[in-house]
Structure 1
């Protein structure tokens, strides 16, 4: 619940700041998208916390179970994809400044964000179509998304969809972000300017990103592979712990936004081959 208490006000604050004090429209679009997805993720986390605190007993009905599950995982994927796009944007600005300078940044960013929310819309469809809650007589509880009959075609389809989404929307964005961060740090270390504070801040964000998303991405994939191959779920407890750890990022994103804004100027100045300076917004 601490994530919800700090995360929801933090993301609302960042949204208000971005809307009222826009400096760089392309960056504002990305951070607004991230804040919105984090907000939805944290709101759905309230219902999941209620479910687990009541001994994994769901009392809100089948429709609510589908909506909460779809919202939680859809926004988890959306956050990961948006963070990867932010990393790519910074990579282009630092490593390929001339190409980045020529890009129609606002238009490109708007299309990218629309594509991300399109993926979100597609990712929640299987969760909304397939039954999620089941009465378990042995436990005298109604579970939500925890117990599913593997002999059902609809649930086999849901399992396969989740496996594909874990790869495309968690593992792939994680790899992209890692590569971008490494290239950014390498380029800044080779710069003639003093970027020590920005490098330290960037390294901190990268470390927290890895701690949050690496276990979730790997265990997400392994858990669904295990279910798909032999129907066992020995990794379920670790899978849930990793997903909870991943939610930490939704709480910390507002603080990372402030940290990155304070630790770097709004312009990155690079020396061109003619000795002139090229300014790039990052």
Structure 2
């Protein structure tokens, strides 16, 4: 896992170093191209009297402007968001309605937490759809921009950690069945869910402490979160914070999930019983998790490393495209959960592979 991660990181981190080594001559004013794109604040005066946003005006390069007004940002990204919203919001509401009657089970609590985070993530995308279709111009005000930004990132990390909690419970049920039977499973599920929500709610507070929306100098558009003046001290301090957040929100749980799924499949393969269908289902769920979350998270992480070390933000446009996969995972979660539940409940019990002890399979 670490080798794959390093292989993805290194080419991206040193991409600009190879390009710069052959360039000479006078360099223009350092305006960074599209995660946020880096811009330069040029004034803080009231030039837009009809706007509800604080009058912060930012200057950007032509490349950044071309991205914010291009077909990828204005058509392809909102189309994928709309597709995820159409599928995901009804399916997650249906899951919540079904799980509300089964909250006495530990698995029901964890799946409920996952469905809530997925639903909030998809709801936050509705305003982003309008933003992209409106030529990347935000009309809902600074406070709503902050709320949508915090809701989007916070619920991505909540979804990842909810998956991690579900995987850990499955791991304990398969690998340590005797210990699992003695656990206060419902209390553990409640504590895990509340901890995840509290931690990432607090983690999103810094996003409310900075300006998120800016008028673009010389253009009639207002960006939301996509362009920020990282040459200013208050914004520079955000880069280590966001790097730490990505380590806690994605890298750590991904390593745990990889280990857990590998252990589950290894132990099921050692069993004398036929668990082929469940192994295939688990492998599918794990594969989709990696495909949906890994590209955007890796690009996002490398983007901030380059922004912090080289003041380069050219990867942000690729991150905005890759993040669409996260929204698809949110609409797939109800179907993936049903797949695992259907596969595991086809057998009423799972046996310990060493002693023949029995345990409920509902957590699987």
Determine if the TM-score, normalized by the shorter chain, exceeds 0.5: yes
- Do 2:271 and 2:353's aligned partners in 1 also have CA atoms closer than 8 Å? no
- Do 1:42 and 1:250's aligned partners in 2 also have CA atoms closer than 8 Å? yes
Residue 8 of structure 1 is matched in structure 2 by: 89
| Secondary structure in structure 2 of the residue aligned to 1:197 | helix
Partners of 1:138 and 1:72 lie apart in 2 by 29
Residue 77 of structure 1 is matched in structure 2 by: 157
Does residue 1:155 correspond to 2:226, yes or no?
A: no
1:261 maps to which of 323, 341, 357: 341
Unmatched tracts of structure 2, length 5 or more: 1-81
Residue 270 of structure 1 is matched in structure 2 by: 351
Does residue 1:120 correspond to 2:205, yes or no?
A: no
Unmatched tracts of structure 1, length 5 or more: none
- Do 2:174 and 2:352's aligned partners in 1 also have CA atoms closer than 8 Å? no
Residue 203 of structure 1 is matched in structure 2 by: 283
Superposition RMSD on alpha carbons, in Å?
Answer: 1.6
Partners of 1:272 and 1:60 lie apart in 2 by 57
**Count of matched residue pairs:** 280
The offset of 1:218, in angstroms, is 0.9
2:317 maps to which of 237, 250, 261: 237
Alpha carbons of structure 1 residues 127 and 263: separation in structure 2 relative to 1, 3 Å:
same
Partners of 1:169 and 1:27 lie apart in 2 by 21
In proportion to residue count, which structure has more helix? 1
TM-score, structure 2 normalization: 0.74
Partners of 1:271 and 1:228 lie apart in 2 by 50
- Do 1:272 and 1:278's aligned partners in 2 also have CA atoms closer than 8 Å? no
Partners of 2:360 and 2:267 lie apart in 1 by 14
| Secondary structure in structure 1 of the residue aligned to 2:93 | helix
Residue 118 of structure 2 is matched in structure 1 by: 38
Runs (4 or more) in structure 1 with deviation over 4 Å come to 271-274
Alpha carbons of structure 1 residues 223 and 44: separation in structure 2 relative to 1, 3 Å:
same
- Do 2:138 and 2:222's aligned partners in 1 also have CA atoms closer than 8 Å? yes
- CA deviations on 1:177-215 (whole Å, 9 max, x unpaired) are 111111111111111111111111111111111100111
